[in-house]
Amino acid sequence: FCWYVSLLTHAPPAHCNDRYQRDALQPVGSAGHDARRASLGGSQSRCVWSWRCECRASVRYCRWLVAGGTGLAGSEIVKELTQKGNEVISVNSKTVDLTKRDATFEFIQDLKPTCIIDAAAKAGGIVANNDFPVDFLSLNLQIQTNLMDAAHQAKVEKFIFLGSSCIYPRLAPQPMKEEALLTGPLEKTNSAYAIAKIAGIELIKSYRRQFGHKWISVMPTNLYGPNDNFDLTSSHVLPA
C-alpha cells in the first residue's frame, strides 16, 4: 500500500546509524499559530515526531504534510513515514478546512513542507455518492485545488495526489490498465466523485508540464481497514 511513500522518503545514510536524537512531541508550526491550533482539538492531534541525524555529513531535512492524515489511507501513510524517520505533520478538517482557500494558503505558507501527500477527500459508498453528488464533486474539487495551488505558491517540492480506481470506465477491461482512462462511460452512481479525481490528476499533470514540478498522482485500489468509515449508510461495501 505504501510503496510509493517508500520511494520518496529520505532515509539517513548508513554511517549515521549510531547517533540519533529523538525529539519530544511538540505542536506543529510557528509559535504564532500554536494558540489557534490548540483551539482546534489540542496539540496532541497535530504533533511532530521527528528523528534528526547528527553527523558531519550533510543530511537533507524533510518535512512531510499528510492531508487527511487521520483517515484510512492517510493514517497508514503517516505511520509508514514516521517509521522511516521523517518529520510528519498530520492534518485533518479539524486542523484546517481545506475548502477555505485563504485558510489553506496561510496554513501551507506557514508550515512550508517539503512534500505534501493529499489523502484528504469527501469519500463514501454507493448510497452516499448517489444521494449527494454535488458534495462529492464540489468539495473534492475545492480541497484538491486549494491544496495544490497553495503548495505551488509555497514552492513545495513534491506533491502526491491520491486518486481512486473509480476514475476508470465502468466496463473497463480487467485487469484495468492506465490506458483505459477516459475511454468509456463512468459508473453513474459515483461519477461526480470520479470526475473530481480526474480533474485532480489533470491539475497535477498540468503543474508538472507548466512549472516542472516533481508532482505525481497515485491510484490506490479499493481499501478497507483501520480508521475506515463503518457507518452502514455512508460507508463502502466491505466496512458495512
Is the Cβ–Cβ distance between 137 and 195 less than 8 Å?
A: yes
CA-based nearest residue to 225, from 88, 67, 75, 122: 75
Tell me the three cell numbers of residue 53: 541525524
Is the Cβ–Cβ distance between 105 and 150 less than 8 Å?
A: yes
Q: Amino acid letter at 31?
A: A
Is the Cβ–Cβ distance between 44 and 70 less than 8 Å?
A: no
Helices (H) and strands (E) in the chain, counts: 7, 9
DSSP code, position 219: -
Please report the DSSP string for 95-122 in residue order.
T--TT-HHHHHHHHHHH--SEEEE----
Catalytic residue among 4, 193, 207, 224: 193
C-alpha 125, offset from chain centre? 20
Instruction: For residues 22 and 85, give the distance between their C-alpha atoms in angstroms, rounded to a whole number.
Output: 10
* Catalytic residue check, 207: no
Residues involved in catalysis: 193
